[in-house]
Amino acid sequence: MTLAELQALHALPFFDLIKRAREVHEEFWPDGKIQLCTLLSIKTGGCSEDCAYCAQSARYKTELESHVLLEREEVMRHARAARESGSTRFCMGAAWKGVRGGTPRFEQVLDIVRDVSTLGMEVCVTLGELGPDEAIQLRDAGVTAYNHNLDTSPEHYPNIVTSHTYEDRLRTIRNVQGAGISVCCGGILGLGETITDRLRLLEVISNFNPQPESVPINSLMPMPGTPLAENPQVDPFDLVRMIACARISVPGAKVRLSAGRTRLSDEVQALCFYAGANSIFYGEKLLTAENPESEKDRALLAKLGLKTLEPDRSLEAPDFDHSLPASPSLDGHCHETHACTPAGCG
């Protein structure tokens, strides 16, 4: 979409905008299900980059405890737990500027991905900059999606990050597309941007070819010690408008209501789901910041009568271990296709 088209949409009266978004949502996502994703920080803190919102940058004195790349078994423990709790996508993040092929740490990541990809969930990683060869190796190891956010408009980006450029981000996204990996690309609200900056971000993202499979919309989690620690919270109606514009401009993408849900009421989250959000990060932690308690999320989805997405059987390894408990579904019905008993399922 063009910036002018997005501006015209955004300027609609609130109810007209969410009605338009709802129509698109119902056309493209008729089952109305919500995808649960679980995040895990596999390497935390000590990052060379200066992203002004991020607790993991080594440049700021934050309260964060850094840790080196997690061991394979520990990651697998988290991934199994995520699957058991109903997540169908497991996203692993590393606080790196980027990765380079042939290094021991990249080989270690490939090993982790190979293991996690046997569990039958979508496997997403976010590791920073990526070259074309690394992208192919990740795909071959089993990565299904790569998260690389553009965060804001090209114009506002240099006010937020100076250690790499918007063009660097776009190059990585092209490398991911080139390897045939799905792109997950979105942004953050609350970085001191204007509405035009937000819509410019959507203009850039909606003009990707192909359009991204996933668009996370984060609200800034102000992290103590970072330059943006005191930024004011975004008006929740503006968040809903952004979700609606994302739904309309990238209709086939999962629009993920991402960071910042701890500061949103149930009612605002419900409006976001109505306006086109169809995924959340589920589990008490994002990468380093807080996320709502799983129980609270389950209660909210149940209250709204929203069903969750079931695992995609085509992602399962041929020797997939069905002895693990099946994913409990939030609607109380078993979505497993194998024979199961009430005691073993749900």
Judged on CB neighbours under 10 Å (0-12, 13-18, 19+), 19 is: middle
Q: Which of 54, 160, 223, 242 binds ligand SF4 (CB under 6 A)?
A: 54
Residue 151 C-beta: closest distance to ligand DTB, Å: 9
Active-site residue 261, yes or no? no
The answer to the question of residue 222 lying near ligand SF4 (CB under 6 A) is no
The answer to the question of residue 286 lying near ligand DTB (CB under 6 A) is yes
Integer distance in angstroms from the first to the last C-alpha of the chain?
Answer: 42
Active-site residue 54, yes or no? yes
Ramachandran class of 117: left when φ > 0, alpha when ψ lies in -120 to 50, beta otherwise: alpha
Q: In the beta sheet, which residues pair with residue 299? A: none
Ramachandran class of 19: left when φ > 0, alpha when ψ lies in -120 to 50, beta otherwise: alpha
Q: Which of 35, 37, 105 is nearest to 287 (CA)?
A: 37
Read off the tokens for 215: 């668009």
Residue 41 DSSP code? E
The answer to the question of residue 95 lying near ligand SF4 (CB under 6 A) is yes
The answer to the question of residue 128 lying near ligand SAM (CB under 6 A) is yes
Q: Which of 143, 121, 127 is nearest to 42 (CA)?
A: 127
Active-site residue 51, yes or no? yes
Residue 326 C-beta: closest distance to ligand DTB, Å: 26
Give the residue with the Cβ less far from ligand SAM, 36 or 39: 39
Catalytic residue among 47, 245, 272, 334: 47
Q: Which of 169, 197, 199 is nearest to 183 (CA)?
A: 169
Q: Which of residues 241-260 bind ligand SAM (CB under 6 A)?
A: 259
Give the residue with the Cβ less far from ligand DTB, 283 or 334: 283
Residue 88, number of CB atoms within 10 A of its CB: 22
Read off the tokens for 83: 């699957």
Q: Binding string to ligand SF4 for residues 113 to 152, with x set by CB under 6 A, is what?
A: ---------------x------------------------
Which one of ligand SAM, ligand SF4, ligand DTB, none interacts with residue 57, CB within 5 to 8 A by kind?
ligand SF4
Residues that bind ligand SF4 (CB under 6 A): 47, 49, 51, 54, 56-57, 95, 128
Residues that bind ligand DTB (CB under 6 A): 39, 55, 91, 93, 126, 147, 149, 186, 216, 218, 221, 258-259, 286-289
Active site residues: 47, 51, 54, 91, 124, 184, 256
